[in-house]
Structure 1
Amino acid sequence: MEQRSSFATARRTELFDELLALFLAEGFAHLTLDAIAARLKCSKSTLYTLAGSKEQLVTSATVHFFKRATERVEATVAASDARERISAYLGAVGRELSVASERFMADLDAFAPARQVYERNTRIAASRVQELITDGVNAGDFRRVHAAFAADLVAAMMVRIQQGAVRAGTGLDDGSAYRELARIVTMGISA
């Protein structure tokens, strides 16, 4: 019985990863449950084991994407120098977002539950940047800047990136925008 249960769990995880890869590559608004099932080579009833509706499936996939991304981003912050930690953090955010197609990002913005997941993760990331700036100021790696203001500045840009304003105004995709933000911020507050 245990072996059957672990197979089912492994299959669900694999299916969820395939679903997320599909959404990241092609978006989700245009896909029906029938189309998703066909693309993943499973039945609709199998999809219903992952979530009760397409909307819940999209929301769960978005939560999964940001949870996985957060774990990988946090794993990069082990550098000893504060500047390297902020660069690593924002650079990693950029790398994680670079796998999301423009269509996925547009669909995410148009679907309120998924957009709220992105907005919540943006707020968490901005708070984390403030912690990193504060640590750097306290360690003497950064000049005496008002950490909350610097983090608020970063947060404002993160929101503009998240809302697509940076892409529209500069042509930079979200991943590239985060990497550029990391370079500008760390140069601007370095001691």
Structure 2
Amino acid sequence: MPLTLNDRQQELLDGLVALFVAEGFRQFTLGDLTVRLHCSKSTLYALGESKEQLVGNAVVHFFRTATAEVERRTALEDEPAARIQAYLTAVADALRPASAAFIEDIAAHPAARQAYARNTRIAARRVRELIDEGVSSGAFRAVHAAFVADTVASTMTRIQSGDVQRATGLRDAEAYEELAALVLRGVRS
């Protein structure tokens, strides 16, 4: 994918992401996408040379956009517990519009699954940083931040894989909300 997109390509990528988030992506052919997005195949190929690459680029864009919003919302908070709450709530909010079809399609698509897994690892590292900040400031009890972050990462991986939804019935966004509440109860003094 080009590093710099023109306005039309950015609009098209945003539209592609919105379509995939709402309906999933496995069922679409390139022809279907050109009809739904009102563009030519050559315009679509500017975003990816194949459907495989197009899906991968769209999913990466979804997570990059979500990450930027999660970090923006986290930065608005000063208090360590509020930062963790803001971070995990923002993750939940970013995933809330994701249809079951989108999540299932990500799980079945190697490049998309890899992007979700990479984003999950980054999120777990970020939670560890936020916990470390809270412990250092005295806002949290002296917890083993690496252990808590590892537990969070394991739970995030289970959320990403669909295991949490199968076991509990919670959709990804709801599971992240519960995870935020659990972490905060565990780290507060």
Pairwise same-fold verdict (TM > 0.5): yes
Partners of 1:125 and 1:147 in 2: how far apart? Answer: 14
List aligned pairs for 1:118-133, cutoff 5 A.
118-133=116-131
- Where does residue 188 of structure 1 map in the other structure? 186
Partners of 1:103 and 1:170 in 2: how far apart? Answer: 18
- Where does residue 75 of structure 1 map in the other structure? 72
- Where does residue 146 of structure 2 map in the other structure? 148
Amino acid across the alignment from 1:102: A
Stretches of structure 2 that go unaligned for 5 or more consecutive residues are none
> 1:43 Cα deviation (Å)?
1.2
- Where does residue 3 of structure 1 map in the other structure? none
> 1:90 Cα deviation (Å)?
0.5
Deviations 1:64-116 (A, max 9, x none): 00000000000111211111000100010000011111000100000001100
Select which of 89, 92, 95 maps to 2:90: 92
Partners of 2:46 and 2:132 in 1: how far apart? Answer: 44
Partners of 1:155 and 1:12 in 2: how far apart? Answer: 34
> 1:18 Cα deviation (Å)?
0.6
- Where does residue 106 of structure 1 map in the other structure? 104
> 1:51 Cα deviation (Å)?
1.0
Amino acid across the alignment from 2:133: D
Partners of 1:87 and 1:130 in 2: how far apart? Answer: 13
Partners of 1:115 and 1:158 in 2: how far apart? Answer: 13
Partners of 1:47 and 1:80 in 2: how far apart? Answer: 42
**Number of equivalences:** 185
- Where does residue 157 of structure 2 map in the other structure? 159
Select which of 28, 40, 45 maps to 1:43: 40
Deviations 1:26-83 (A, max 9, x none): 0001100000111111111111111100000000001100000000000111211111
Partners of 2:88 and 2:40 in 1: how far apart? Answer: 39
Select which of 50, 57, 70 maps to 1:53: 50
Amino acid across the alignment from 2:70: V
- Where does residue 62 of structure 1 map in the other structure? 59
Runs in 1 of length 4+ with deviation above 6 angstroms? none
Identity, % of aligned positions: 54
Matched residue SS, 1:143 = coil
Matched residue SS, 2:74 = coil
Matched residue SS, 1:50 = coil
Partners of 1:165 and 1:49 in 2: how far apart? Answer: 36
Matched residue SS, 2:28 = coil
Q: Root-mean-square deviation (CA), in Å?
A: 1.2
Select which of 150, 157, 175 maps to 1:177: 175
Deviations 1:126-174 (A, max 9, x none): 0000000011001111101001001111111000000001111111110
Question: Larger C-alpha radius of gyration, 1 or 2?
Answer: 1
> 1:9 Cα deviation (Å)?
1.1
